[in-house]
Amino acid sequence: MNQTISYCQHGLKGVVTIPADKSISHRAVMFASLIKGTTLIKGFSKAQDPLSTVEVCKNLGVEIEHVNENDITVTSSGNLRQHSNYLNCGNSGTTMRLMSGILASQNFNSRLIGDESLSGRPMKRIIEPLTKMGAVIYSTENYPPLYIYGRDLCGINYHSSLASAQVKSCILLAGLNAEGKTTFTEPALSRNHTELLLSYLNADIKIDGLSVTVRPSKMESKTIEIPGDISSAAFFIAAALIVPHSDVTIKNVGLNPTRTGILEIIKRMGGVVEILDKRLVCGEPVGDLRVKYCELKGTVIEGDMIPKLIDEIPIIAVMATQAEGTTIVRNAQDLRYKESDRISAITSILKKLGADIEETSDGFIVNGKTKLTGGVEIDSLEDHRLAMSAYIAGYLCQNSILVRDFDCVDISFPEFEQYVNYLHM
Ligand code: S3P
């Protein structure tokens, strides 16, 4: 499906409630699959990626049912069962990488596949540490499909050169079922939903700065409630800040400090995001955000900040085109290995729309503020975050744009179009 977007004259206005966090949804269903009994998950994501995890867990013998539109139950014997066919992870790197950690220690073998995009994403980052734990995984040059031969694992003390929550979670999940203790140390703090949810479910886990240690343990069944996804909210936060006359309230936004890099950057850019009614949901901070149009200025985004906003960099690039002065993103080389090479893709999309942006090896440089001309067709590369970033940029283009393969937004945010239409009324 292609999508046409036209200049937004009167701004975005209204109140929306953000759907469930994708990262936490994956973890909730995976962890519940390892717990004996029935776990209620409230506010489960309807996005395709977490649904890939649901399908994989179902194929491993877990019963997963909807109790109403938003809530699911996960019923498990506490043990997974071999699946005779491929386990399809679809487009989801989180499904493949985290499930590999779980499957490596089972007493059966598994085969994991993904779609074309996932088949081109590097798995060495998990194969290497899992192999050190005694796992046996075959692949072609460390790309999917992965053939995992279940083995008894032993704990490791692993220092990762990447700040990646997917790698960290994979190793911690393997460690939960390995002999001895497993310690994972990362160079900068990546999202810590695995740690928070494992603690909430009473797994044996200890956090010491950038190191996390787990020991073999059984988790306890407890109701899990999932807050809204700040990575989905980011599109409305950015749109409200840069589309003149906007005033938007975004409810139920997860505000875990390992995910709120975008809010810190907006503050530095001179933007104002008001946080209302801050509360805790299953150990995760949540709040409502009110955002209005305002003048922004350029900034530098680098170092430890990158993991805290890794998925928001495409929409931050769009914001930077409307900020006065120069915005530089560096140390974000891992963005080249996401659903697409997001450094090169967002640079070429915004250039095509009329922005002044240059790609660098590990980021980009944007000079603003620019009037976007538009009047062109944009290839989303079937990458959901690129499609939504292009959509928001389209609101500022003097001439309508067309975004190809827009339905890929279903990967993380199937409600996106309904929400923007509502705010644009
Ligand atoms: C995710 C971690 C991030 C992020 C991805 C989801 C997760 O990836 O980009 O969308 O749920 O753990 P990396 O950990 O590879 O940076």
pLDDT averaged per 10 residues, the chain (length 425):
96 97 98 98 97 98 97 98 97 98 98 98 98 98 98 98 98 98 98 97 97 95 97 98 98 98 98 96 93 98 98 98 98 97 98 98 97 98 98 98 98 97 89
Distance 189 CA to ligand 1 centre (A): 12
User: What is the Cα 140 distance to its own chain's centre?
Assistant: 26
Structure tokens at 111: 């085969």
Tokens 């955000």 found at: 289
Establish whether 283 is an annotated binding residue: no
**Parallel, antiparallel, or unpaired: how do β-strands 397-399 and 296-297 relate?**
unpaired
Q: Is the CB of 311 under 6 A from ligand 1?
A: yes
Partner residues linked to 69 by β-bridges: none
Closest-CA residue to 381 (of 96, 117, 121): 117
Does the annotation flag 336 for ligand binding?
A: no
The pTM of this model reads 0.97
> For residue 219, how far is its CA from the centre of ligand 1 (angstroms)?
23
Mutate which of 49, 95, 98, 164 for ligand 1? The one with the most ligand atoms within 8 Å of its CB, which is 164
SS3 of 261-299: the string is HHHHHHHHCCCCEEEEEEEEECCEEEEEEEEECCCEECC
Residue 361 annotated as lining a ligand binding site = no
| pLDDT value at residue 218 | 87
Number of helices and strands in the chain (H, E): 13, 28
- Residue to substitute in 21, 22, 23 for testing ligand 1 pocket (most ligand atoms within 8 angstroms of CB): 23
DSSP 305: G
**Among candidates 258, 237, 276, which has minimal Cα distance to 189?**
258
Q: Is 341 a residue of the active site? A: no
Output the CA 382–ligand 1 centroid distance in Å: 18
What pLDDT does 282 receive? 85
Question: How much is the mean pLDDT over the chain?
Answer: 97
CA separation for the pair 2, 58 (Å, rounded): 33
Cα(327)–Cα(311) distance, rounded to whole angstroms?
17
- Do the Cβ atoms of 29 and 64 come closer than 8 Å? yes
Q: Is residue 405 in contact with ligand 1, taking CB distance under 6 Å? A: no
Cα-based distances in Å from 19 to 26, 129, 172, 283, 397: 14, 34, 27, 18, 28
Distance 5 CA to ligand 1 centre (A): 29
How many Å lie between the centroid of ligand 1 and the Cα of residue 164?
A: 6
Burial class (CB in 10 A: 0-12, 13-18, 19+), 278: exposed
Cα dihedral sign, 49-53-58-59: positive
b/e per residue, 283-317, with b = 16+ CB within 10 A?
A: ebbbbbbbbbbbebebbebeeebbbbbbbbbbbbb
Residue 225: which residues within 8 A CB-CB, separation 6 or more?
A: 41, 42, 43, 281, 282
d(CA 297, CA 270): 6
> Distance between CA atoms of 52 and 86, rounded to whole angstroms?
13
- Show Cβ contacts of residue 104 under 8 Å, excluding neighbours closer than 6 positions: 130, 133, 135, 137, 148, 150, 151, 153, 174
Let me know how long the chain is: 425
Distance CA 49, CA 58 (A): 14
Closest ligand 1 atom to the C-alpha of 164?
14
Residue 160 annotated as lining a ligand binding site? no
Ramachandran region of residue 299, left (φ > 0), alpha (ψ -120 to 50) or beta? beta
CB 95 less than 6 A from any atom of ligand 1: no
| Terminal C-alpha separation, the chain | 22
180 Cα–ligand 1 center, Å: 27
Q: Name the strands in the sheet holding 63-66, side by side, starting at the edge strand that comes first in the sequence.
A: 63-66, 72-76, 37-42, 224-225
Give, using CA atoms, the residue closest to atom 16 of ligand 1.
164
Closest residue CA from atom 4 of ligand 1:
311
Residue that the structure tokens 């460390």 belong to? 142
pLDDT of residue 425: 73
Query: Does 385 count as an annotated binding residue?
Result: yes
Question: What is 196-253 written as a DSSP string?
Answer: HHHHHTT--EEEETTEEEE-S-------EE--B-HHHHHHHHHHHHHSTT-EEEEEEE
Q: What does the alpha-carbon distance between residue 56 and residue 77 come to, in Å, rounded to a whole number? A: 16
Q: What is the pLDDT of residue 168?
A: 98
Q: Residue 345 corresponds to which tokens in the numbers above?
A: 């893709």
For ligand 1, atom 10, name the residue with the nearest CA: 311
Atom of ligand 1 nearest to the CA of 412: 10
Catalytic: which of 21, 229, 311, 410? Answer: 311
pLDDT digits (tens, 9 = 90+) for 140-156: 999 999 999 999 999 99
